[in-house]
Amino acid sequence: MTRTAPAETPLGDSFHVFDTTLRDGAQREGITYSLADKFAVARLLDEVGVGFIEGGWPGALPTDTEFFARAAAGELTLRHAALVAFGATRRPGTKVTEDQQVAALLASQAPVVTLVAKSDVRHIERALRTDVAEACAMVRDTVSFLVERGRRVFLDAEHFFDGFAHDPDCALRVLAAAMESGADVAVLCDTNGGQLPLALADTVGEVVARTGYRVGIHCQDDTGCAVANSVAAVQAGATHVQCTANGYGERAGNADLFAVVGNLVTKLGMPVIPTASVPELSRVSHALAEIANLAPDTHQAYVGASAFAHKAGLHASAIKVDPLLYNHIDPEVVGNDMRVLVTEMAGQASLELKGRELGVDLAGQPAVLTSAVRRVKELESRGWSFEAADASLELLLRRELEESSVDSPPFTLESYRVILDHRLDGVIVSEATVKVHVAGTRVIATAEGNGPVHALDAALRQALSPYLPWLADVRLSDYKVRILADRPGTDAVTRVLVESTDREHEWTTVGVHGNIVEASWLALCDALAHKAMRVEAASVSR
């Protein structure tokens, strides 16, 4: 059997970062982890140095049963974390030795087990349909059974806070049943997520003072306070905190592992994960979002792409003086970057900073900087926005620098035509024809798509792919449209953002025009130009 406590964590077993992304996090609407996903998630969580990984509920869900079986067979090697199985106590009025679900927990070979138990008398009576004495016996029997067989046991006391407020004696009796039978941690769960931090911290403090038990915390985000509640609980004496990656979970979600760990490490000075893992937080957060097939939350605390993005020109000049005047921590500590958003409010200071971020050195080139700022401002006055289109901005800056990698565009356009037909029979057809020059050849291609832009993209690909082999890797991954109305003295214009991806990178480009199709075309062309530039730069450096 593998270890039952975290390895190599500065605080050792005295503080637990307990991750339940694979169990409680999987309750989030839209998440379905495959077996391969579960292994990938567990490995990433181990990289970030959590102490415990709750892998699922063996016996209840087939994928979870299989996950534990394969892990036990040696397919999962964890450097830091101990693997945990989740399950329930025996059913009311039965013997623990005859409970199939408890047997499955044992069979999973997980060295640590979290047992969930009801601690609110109303739930015991109305949902479980039994009494407090039997509820406590269920806990005692199941904890003893597992402890006697060498398992480490944590108790998840469900609905603890509501239960304690309503009937503290009942809630504490359930904890006592577990702890006196050999459980290691009494985890106080805010199951319906209704708590606020000041009251929650008081309750945690009171339970610690009255019982002397090792106490853990598990928060849901229904009041938008899961992170705050978890941190407040630790300040009140909890030494075990349950979280999920990016706060995934049922309803409003759980406490976000990255924000909780970020706060404990940087605000409270508690080395709850290995020091070397702290700069991995941002990368692992985004990788876990990819596995869950969810867009990363760009505004997530600590790890979001915008978490250190500054828009106001007001701040940009002061940021040059001292970034820490405006950031609550140094973003590099958690593996994130400061980003300056180039907006109408921006000047030379922010553009130079932005260039540095994009790998374009504009320092000591005042003439280029002046001309680039003028070009950006001129484009912005016509509705362009580079705030979310780093790739287009990089192209603009490199063109201003007259760098060779952007000297010659991958192709030039002669003309295009798009025809949309809503036919008599109700069928709608979009067809595009492009005439382009590529590698010294004039090419004409026609293709259909399910909309004008899709048809244009298809025709362009058909024309170019014989000449640009890298095009096969590039695909359009997102497409956003914004109509800019009512700017004084101008016609409405359309701003299109195109997000592209190849096997390694994602990049965003922008196009602006009165005609939505032309705006999309401009953004598409920039997307290909950016890829061509990188291909060119790579071939030069080889």
User: In this structure, which amino acid lies at residue 98?
Assistant: E
Instruction: Pick the stretch among 4-12, 75-83, 318-326, 527-535 that binds a copy of itself (CB under 8 A).
Output: 318-326
- Binding-residue total with a copy of itself (CB under 8 A): 111
Binding residue for a copy of itself, selected from 263, 277, 282, 350, defined by CB under 8 A: 263
Query: Is residue 317 part of the contact set for a copy of itself (CB under 8 A)?
Result: yes
Task: Give Cα 199 distance to the centre of its chain.
Answer: 29
What is each CA distance from 48 to 32, 83, 216, 461, 533, in whole angstroms? Answer: 22, 15, 20, 41, 34
| Beta carbon nearer to a copy of itself, 275 or 450 | 450
Nearest distance in Å: CB 268, a copy of itself: 8
Q: What angle do CA 66, 72, 73 make, to 5 degrees?
A: 90
Nearest distance in Å: CB 367, a copy of itself: 28
| Beta carbon nearer to a copy of itself, 14 or 293 | 293
Alpha helices in 120-159 (DSSP H): 121-126, 132-148
Long-range CB contacts for residues 372-381, cutoff 8 Å, separation at least 24? 372/396, 372/397, 372/400, 373/347, 373/348, 375/400, 376/342, 376/346, 376/351, 377/344, 379/512, 380/343, 380/344
Q: Rounded to an integer, what distance in angstroms lies between the CA atom of residue 497 and that of residue 193?
A: 37
Query: Is residue 100 part of the contact set for a copy of itself (CB under 8 A)?
Result: no
| Beta carbon nearer to a copy of itself, 240 or 311 | 311
| Beta carbon nearer to a copy of itself, 341 or 468 | 341
Burial class of residue 374 in the structure, from the number of CB atoms within 10 Å of its CB (0-12 exposed, 13-18 middle, 19+ buried) = exposed
| Beta carbon nearer to a copy of itself, 148 or 290 | 290
| Beta carbon nearer to a copy of itself, 212 or 489 | 489
| Beta carbon nearer to a copy of itself, 5 or 196 | 196
Burial class of residue 107 in the structure, from the number of CB atoms within 10 Å of its CB (0-12 exposed, 13-18 middle, 19+ buried) = middle
Task: Write the interaction track for a copy of itself spanning residues 222-261; mark x where CB under 8 A is met and - where it is not.
Answer: xxxx-xxx-xx--x-----------x--xxxx--x--xx-
SS3 at position 365: coil
CB atoms near residue 241 (< 10 Å): 26
Task: Write the interaction track for a copy of itself spanning residues 331-360; mark x where CB under 8 A is met and - where it is not.
Answer: ----------x-------------------
Q: Which of 232, 233, 185, 234 is nearest to 213 (CA)?
A: 185
CB 36 within 8 A of CB 85: no
Q: What string of DSSP letters covers 433-501? A: EEEEEETTEEEEEEEEESSHHHHHHHHHHHHHTTT-GGGGG-EEEEEEEEEE---TTS--EEEEEEEEE
Query: Is residue 267 part of the contact set for a copy of itself (CB under 8 A)?
Result: yes
Binding residue for a copy of itself, selected from 516, 535, 536, 537, defined by CB under 8 A: 516
Task: Write the interaction track for a copy of itself spanning residues 189-228; mark x where CB under 8 A is met and - where it is not.
Answer: --xxxx-xxx--x-------------------xxxxx-xx
Query: Is residue 321 part of the contact set for a copy of itself (CB under 8 A)?
Result: yes
Nearest distance in Å: CB 348, a copy of itself: 18
The residue behind tokens 């016509």 is 382
Instruction: Pick the stretch among 92-100, 171-179, 207-215, 491-499 that binds a copy of itself (CB under 8 A).
Output: 491-499
Instruction: Pick the stretch among 207-215, 299-307, 366-374, 458-466 that binds a copy of itself (CB under 8 A).
Output: 299-307
Nearest distance in Å: CB 8, a copy of itself: 27
Instruction: Pick the stretch among 102-110, 123-131, 141-149, 461-469 that binds a copy of itself (CB under 8 A).
Output: 123-131
User: Interaction with a copy of itself in 401-460: which residues (CB under 8 A)?
Assistant: 413-424, 428, 430, 450-453
| Beta carbon nearer to a copy of itself, 181 or 494 | 494
Q: Rounded to an integer, what distance in angstroms lies between the CA atom of residue 55 and that of residue 19?
A: 9
Binding residue for a copy of itself, selected from 301, 379, 535, 537, defined by CB under 8 A: 301
Nearest distance in Å: CB 266, a copy of itself: 9
Nearest distance in Å: CB 230, a copy of itself: 10
DSSP 34: -
Q: What's the longest Cα–Cα distance across the chain?
A: 86
Nearest distance in Å: CB 397, a copy of itself: 19
CB atoms near residue 485 (< 10 Å): 9
Instruction: Pick the stretch among 98-106, 272-280, 300-308, 438-446 that binds a copy of itself (CB under 8 A).
Output: 300-308
CB 343 within 8 A of CB 329: no
| Beta carbon nearer to a copy of itself, 524 or 533 | 524
Nearest distance in Å: CB 135, a copy of itself: 14
Q: Rounded to an integer, what distance in angstroms lies between the CA atom of residue 473 and that of residue 470?
A: 6
Nearest distance in Å: CB 7, a copy of itself: 28
